[in-house]
Amino acid sequence: MLDILRELIFTSGFVSLTGGNIVMWVISFVLLYLAIKKQYEPLLLLPIAFGILVVNLPLTFLMDPEHGLLWFFYHYGIELDIIPPLIFLGLGAMIDFGPLISNPKMLLLGAGAQAGLYVTFFAAVLFGFDLQEAGSIAIIGGADGPTTIYLTSKLAPHLLGATAVSAYAYMALVPIIQPPIMKLLTTDAERKIVMTKLRPVSKLQKICFPIITAMTIMLIVPPAAPLISMLMLGNLFKESGVVERLTNAASNELMNIVTIFLGLSIGATMTAATFLSPKVLFIFFLGLFAFAVSTAAGLIMAKTMNLFLKDKINPLIGAAGVSAVPMAARCVHKVGSEANRRNYLLMFAMGPNVAGVIGTVVAAAILLKNLG
Amino acid sequence: MPELIAPIAGNVWKILVAVGDKVELDDELVILEALKMETPIYCDDAGTVTAIKVKEGDAVNEEDVLIVID
């Protein structure tokens, strides 16, 4: 009888518990609280937080290579780079590139905001991260979750949990991080600028856009292919208007399914042993830095463009050049309407916002090409 | 007769006035919802609401007439 009891105690998780595990539980509980109570990106934070909790219960072996359930999700979904492109397929089926097609100059803002990535890359190298790690940290400034996960899993898989969580955290915090930078770098008069109406976009243009963009980008930067091809295929589904079932499947069911596996797998990489290191704090700090510099770069780019443009643009929309669709565009709209309540910048900001997605993918492909 | 038009495409979230109401410049008349964000639309002219062209939940395009004011 005593033997059975002893056996039960020694095979239970309690005896193998470490202090680090308990710290990870606390992190998991905080994320659960933020997801459920504050509704910060709950679709992702909830599975991530639960993933963190269960991998930090000892002896469950959920992340044991070749055995653990979550390891299989991680291996097939993320290590083999299947899930991020599938998310992009769904995103493509939801994104309206109309505001960008209507005003292709916005592409410059989407590209300008990527400057933050390169600044952060060098900052991370200065902090002592190796080149692959620095690339993975810099991409956080692109504010695009799937791209961050895609690049990190290729360059520095041991940092996956930290870069993914900080990318999603900062996206949720867009309304807090961006407005002070926006107000600092623009004058009240600039924020009041009302933009001229967007040119209407024909159906033909909307159908041609994903085809031409896919060809152009893949020919110029071939490593962008997995993400760009799926993004543009999803968009072609939507704009063609003839495969509504595929559009819906990609943007609803498939998206929801892979989101579950994405979140769980990311959470599962965050064991106490890999996550609790001083490096992680630096990653969060550098990620925030990347995000702030990208926002500033977008704003400065917009102000520079205004020096040459006859019809002035509202420089606030430059801040939407970081991807974070549509949070950054909403934020621009809000700050714009605070300056002038009859200023409706939402659709104007969607142009640089969707351009930012393309810009981040291209930036990731360039990093991958040079560091991979 | 002045009209209140939708400055952006979206769904009509709330209509804050009824036919016959007197409205002033800068009153909030309609709240549109686009990209999960509420955007209040303000009155451009003082007057009396003579017709409401949309109902809550309608999808509207940019430039659609929302309310007619006399």
Chains A, B: CB pairs < 8 Å: 28
Q: Is residue A166 part of a domain?
A: yes
- Give yes or no for A330 touching B (CB within 8 A): yes
Strands B47-52 and B37-42: unpaired
Structural domain count of chain A: 2
Indicate if A269 and A293 belong to the same structural domain.
yes
Strand B37-42, strand B28-34: pairing: antiparallel
Q: How confident is the model over B15-32, as a mean pLDDT?
A: 92
Percent of chain B with pLDDT over 70: 100
Q: Which residue segment(s) compose the domain that A297 sits in? A: 70-371
Residue A251 counted as domain residue = yes
User: Residue A262 falls within a domain, yes or no?
Assistant: yes
- Partner-chain contact B37 A346, CB within 8 Å: yes
Describe the strand order of the beta sheet including B65-69 as a list of residue ranges: B3-5, B65-69, B47-52, B22-23
Residue of A41, A346, A348, A354 to mutate, testing the B interface (most B Cβ within 10 Å of its Cβ): A346
pLDDT the model gives residue A97: 96
Q: A residues 163-222 near B, CB within 8 Å?
A: 197
Locate the chain B residue with the closest alpha carbon to A334.
B39
Q: Residue B2's pLDDT is what?
A: 86
Whole-angstrom distance, CA of residue A236 vs CA of residue A123:
38
Taking CB atoms and an 8 Å limit, are B8 and A329 in contact across chains?
Answer: no
Provide the pLDDT for residue A11: 84
A243 three-class SS: coil
Q: Chain A neighbours among B 15-54 (CB < 8 Å)?
A: 26, 34-37, 39-40, 42
The verdict on a CB contact (< 8 Å) between B37 and A330 is: yes
Are the beta carbons of A346 and B26 separated by less than 8 Å? no
Cα A105 from Cα A348, distance rounded (Å):
11
Q: Are residues A39 and A138 in the same domain?
A: no
Nearest CA in chain A to B34: A346
CA-to-CA distance for A13 and A340, rounded, in angstroms? 59
CA nearest to A325 within chain B: B35
Q: Are residues A100 and A40 in the same domain?
A: no
Residues A46 and A109 in one domain: no
pLDDT at A294: 95
Q: Answer yes or no: do A30 and A90 share one domain.
A: no
* Cα–Cα distance, B60 to B31 (Å, whole number): 12
A330/B42 touch (CB, cutoff 8 Å), yes or no: no
- CATH number assigned to the domain covering B3-69: 2.40.50.100
Q: In what order do the strands lie in the sheet with B59-60?
A: B37-42, B28-34, B10-15, B59-60
Whether A342 sits inside 8 A of B7 (CB atoms) is: yes
Q: Report if residue A112 sits inside a domain.
A: yes
In a shared domain, residues A55 and A75: no
Q: Are A342 and B35 inside 8 Å of each other by CB?
A: no
pLDDT of amino acid B36: 79
Question: Which pLDDT score is estimated for A2?
Answer: 82
Q: Residues with Cβ < 8 Å from A222, sequence gap 6 or more?
A: A365
Selecting from B26, B34, B42 the residue whose C-beta is nearest the C-beta of A346 gives: B34
Facing A347 at nearest CB: one of B8, B36, B40: B8
CB contact under 8 A, B39 and A342: no
User: Which residue from A326, A341, A346 is facing B8, i.e. has the nearest CB?
Assistant: A346
* Whether residues A176 and A150 fall in one domain: yes
Q: Tokens 């760009």 label which residue?
A: A228
Query: A339 and A263 share a domain?
Result: yes
Tell me if A329 and B9 make a contact (CB, 8 A cut-off).
no
Classify residue A65: in a domain, yes or no. Answer: no
A344 touches chain B (CB under 8 A): yes
A139 shares a domain with A24: no
Contact A330 B7 (CB under 8 A): no
Establish if B8 touches chain A: CB-CB under 8 angstroms: yes
Same domain? For A150 and A22 the reply is: no
- Residue matched to tokens 């924020």: A191
Q: What confidence score (pLDDT) does residue B63 get?
A: 87
Judge contact between A277 and A103, C-beta under 8 A.
no
Per-10-residue mean pLDDT, chain A, length 372: 85 89 96 92 92 94 94 96 96 95 95 92 95 96 94 95 92 93 96 91 97 97 97 98 97 96 95 90 94 96 95 95 92 94 93 96 95 90
Whether A64 is in a domain gets the answer: no
H helix runs in A201-311, sequence order = 203-220, 225-240, 244-248, 255-268, 272-275, 278-308
